[in-house]
């Protein structure tokens, strides 16, 4: 990993994107509020705005990918 990349890396964004991905997984594949597991039902109840996690995930992914593309613009192999 280059020194420039480690300075520009924002670990908090990885955490937010991970939270969004887990939220989406629990809501869609865990059964959400209709699950037979109490933990999944509780998590789905706490994440009533689970639909926003999808938008958050894609916005953050687009931001991170755009940053990678912008940083590599004009370099060899672009």
CA 42 to chain CA mean position, Å: 21
Instruction: Give the separation between CA 9 and CA 64, rounded to whole angstroms.
Output: 9
What pLDDT is stored for residue 73 in this prediction?
Answer: 83
Rounded Cα gap, residues 7 and 31, in angstroms? 40
pTM over 0.85: no
Residue 71: which of 4, 3, 12, 26 has the closest Cα?
4
Instruction: Kindly tell me if the per-residue pLDDT of 5 is higher than 80.
Output: no
Give the chain's end-to-end CA distance (angstroms, integer): 18
Residue numbers of the domain that contains 24? 13-70
Q: Assess if residue 51 is contained within a domain.
A: yes
Asked if the structure places residue 24 within a domain, the reply is yes
Percentage of the chain beyond pLDDT 70 is 74
Q: Is residue 40 part of a domain?
A: yes
What total number of domains does the chain contain?
1
Q: Look at residue 6 and tell me if it is in a domain.
A: no
- How confident is the model over 31-56, as a mean pLDDT? 74
In a domain, 1, yes or no: no
Residue 5 domain flag? no
Q: Is the pLDDT of residue 44 over 60?
A: yes
Instruction: Tell me if 49 is assigned to some domain.
Output: yes
Long-range contacts made by residues 69-73, C-beta under 8 angstroms, separation at least 24? 71/5, 71/8
Question: Is residue 78 a part of any domain in this protein?
Answer: no
- pLDDT value of position 6: 45
């Amino acid at each position: 990993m280059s020194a420039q990349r480690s300075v520009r890396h924002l670990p908090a964004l990885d955490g937010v994107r991970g939270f969004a991905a887990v939220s989406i997984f629990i809501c869609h594949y865990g059964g959400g509020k209709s699950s037979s597991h109490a933990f999944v039902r509780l998590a789905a109840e706490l994440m009533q705005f689970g639909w926003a996690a999808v938008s958050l995930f894609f916005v953050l992914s687009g931001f991170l990918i755009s940053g990678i593309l912008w940083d590599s613009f004009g370099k060899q192999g672009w």
